[in-house]
Structures are given as C-alpha cells and as structure tokens.
Amino acid sequence: MDLKINGKVAVITAASAGLGKNIAHALAAEGVHVVLFARSADKLTALAQEITAKHGVRAVAVPGDMRVAADVKRLADTVNATFNGTDILVLNTGRAPNPLRATLDETEEERWQEAYQNQLWGTIQVAKEMVPQMLKKQWGRVIAITSASVKQPMPHHSLSTVFRAGVTAYMKHLANEVGSCGITVNCVAPALIDTSHRTGTAAYTPEQAEARRKLTPLGRMGEQDEVCGVVAFLASTQAGFITGSSISVDGGMIGSLL
Ligand SMILES: NC(=O)c1ccc[n+]([C@@H]2O[C@H](COP(=O)([O-])OP(=O)(O)OC[C@H]3O[C@@H](n4cnc5c(N)ncnc54)[C@H](OP(=O)(O)O)[C@@H]3O)[C@@H](O)[C@H]2O)c1
C-alpha cells in the first residue's frame, strides 16, 4: 500500500539505536526525509549516511539531548532552516532507569527524576518546539512511543508506567487542541518487543524475557518491525481519521476488551 507520505519530512527522537533507528528506516523506505535526534553524534552521522545510501532520501543528524532546552531549540531551528518545518514527529525516548525494580523498592529520587526528565519532560519539550511547525503547514502527524503498561501495568515497570501515562494524557490534550488544523496525535504502546540484539544492556534478563513471553497469547516476543509498521501507518495519509488513540503492539497481552 502506498502510504502517500513520499517527500514528507519526519523528525525522530531517540533515533541513534533500537526502535528509533528502525522507525527512521521504516519512514525513509516510504520516501520520507528524516531528521535524526539523539545524543551520540557518531552513531547519528553513520545512520544518516546509511539511510541516504539505502533509501535515497535526505537524512540529517542533529546531535542533542531531549532534556536540554537549547538542544531541542537547535533541533527545531535546523528543521526549519533545512526543510521549512516538519510534517511528521515521532516522539521516541530512552528507557526508564535500569534495573527494573518493584514499586516499593523505587526509593531513590534520582531515578524518579531521571525517568521524568527522559520520558515526560523531554517529550513535552520536543512537542512544544516542533508542533508549531505543523500548525503553519496545517498538516501533521505526531506519534509518541509509550508502553502497553499504560493500559495494563507490567511487573516492575512503575518508573516507566507513571510517566508514560503522563505522555498519553499530554498527547490526548494535544490531539483535542490541534485536530482542527489537520494534525493527528496518537500513541503507539508496545510491550514485549525483542531487544536481544542489543550489544549494551538488554531490556530484560533471560528469566524476565521468558516470564514475559508467557504473558501473550502469541507466546513470543514482538519484532521491532512490528512496531515500526504501525508507526509508519499512523504517519500515513490514510490514517488521517485516527487521532487521540493509543494503539497497542503487545501480542495480545492486554486482557481487556478494548
Ligand atoms: N522493548 C519493549 O518492549 C518496549 C516496550 C515499551 C516501551 N519501550 C520503549 O521504547 C523506547 C525505545 O526502546 P529501545 O529498546 O529502542 O531503546 P534503546 O535501544 O535503549 O535506545 C534508546 C535511544 O534513546 C536515545 N536517548 C536516550 N536518552 C536520550 C536523551 N536524553 N535525549 C535524546 N536521546 C536519548 C539513545 O541514544 P543516545 O544514547 O545516542 O542519546 C537511543 O537512541 C524506550 O523508551 C523503551 O522504554 C520498549
């Protein structure tokens, strides 16, 4: 299916690795020019070159930290100067602090602050700088990556769930406010996505991964491509009547009817 976003511009945050990197590839494969934002300049530059070589689109690396206002402002200025604004904004973030802990063991303010800054405040900062560019165009797609834990909390995920719920609420308010300007705002809420290929710290220990597989009727972890495809669809022209929604990509883990 032609998603009809060929030639549009997408900003993807937390794009130097994992899901963000794969989402950038998925959008570029649809002919979307991409702006990649994360802290690791080397990784971003290499990814931009890889994307242009593979998909023939423009790819721009903007090194920066979602928590730092000046970096986010520089991102917005670069997108304006290079592309005259963005059409698509994918709000991906770093993970909650490791290791995962039981709620009453989350006693350190530092970890709560880190989770707040990375997942909620960083997301809000980028949204408030980038969405005005879409208002000027009277068209846009905002897609935040949250977690299925927002609908059904997973064990040891309170640091993530608390702030993803905040992101979900922010996105719902935003959807209500910018819908009449042709901008849709949605969340993609993954769970149980395989990150075992990572060379750094894996999201789950082997025991945690095994326990999680049993949480889904499909009996397996999800693939990153299975998240990226949903993001690309929400960015499409055809998804224009979907807004204010949270789409779960969780292998059926959530037990409720809706
Ligand atoms: N796997 C799952 O089942 C699952 C489920 C629900 C939600 N999620 C969420 O999906 C997101 C992506 O997961 P992942 O596995 O792809 O993570 P990952 O491989 O650890 O990648 C995280 C990315 O975030 C960037 N980043 C971290 N802090 C940043 C900051 N302050 N400013 C800008 N960029 C920052 C990192 O790049 P730099 O270090 O270069 O900045 C990296 O590109 C996470 O929020 C995760 O919690 C995953």
* DSSP assignment string, 179-243: GGGTEEEEEEEE-SB--TT-SS--SS-HHHHHHHHTTSTT-SPBPHHHHHHHHHHHHSSTTTT--
Give the distance (Å) from ligand 1 centre to CA of residue 180.
31
Segment 45-62, tens digit of pLDDT: 999 999 999 999 999 999
Q: Which of 83, 99, 91, 188 is nearest to 136 (CA)?
A: 83
101 lines ligand 1 (CB under 6 A): no
Cα 202 to Cα 54: distance, rounded to the nearest angstrom: 27
Q: Which of 133, 151, 30 is nearest to 89 (CA)?
A: 133
45 lines ligand 1 (CB under 6 A): no
Q: What is the CA radius of gyration of the chain?
A: 17
In the predicted structure, residue 191 carries a pLDDT above the cut 70: yes
Cα 186 to Cα 241: distance, rounded to the nearest angstrom: 11
Whether omega for the bond prior to residue 99 falls within 30 degrees of 0, making it cis, is yes
Q: Where are the beta strands (DSSP E) in the chain?
A: 9-13, 33-38, 59-63, 88-91, 140-145, 183-190, 246-249
Per-residue model confidence (pLDDT) at position 199: 45
Give the distance (Å) from ligand 1 centre to CA of residue 168.
17
123 lines ligand 1 (CB under 6 A): no
Per-residue model confidence (pLDDT) at position 200: 47
Domains and CATH numbers, the chain: 9-249 (3.40.50.720)
In the predicted structure, residue 202 carries a pLDDT above the cut 70: no
Per-residue model confidence (pLDDT) at position 196: 67
Q: Which amino acid is at 101?
A: R
16 lines ligand 1 (CB under 6 A): yes
Per-residue model confidence (pLDDT) at position 154: 87
251 lines ligand 1 (CB under 6 A): no
Residue from 92, 119, 201, 248 to probe ligand 1 pocket by mutation (most atoms less than 8 Å from CB): 92
What do you get for the CA distance between the two ends of the chain, in Å? 27
Residue from 36, 42, 71, 95 to probe ligand 1 pocket by mutation (most atoms less than 8 Å from CB): 95
94 lines ligand 1 (CB under 6 A): yes
- What does DSSP assign to residue 119? I
Average pLDDT over residues 82-97: 97
145 lines ligand 1 (CB under 6 A): yes
Ligand 1, atom 19, lies closest to the CA of 18
In the predicted structure, residue 78 carries a pLDDT above the cut 60: yes
Ligand 1, atom 27, lies closest to the CA of 94
Average pLDDT over residues 175-184: 98
101 burial type by CB count under 10 A (0-12 exposed, 13-18 middle, 19+ buried): middle
Kind and range of the H or E run holding 124: helix 122-137
Atom of ligand 1 nearest to the CA of 198: 19
Residues paired with 144 in a beta bridge: 91, 187
Atom of ligand 1 nearest to the CA of 66: 32
Average pLDDT over residues 124-133: 98
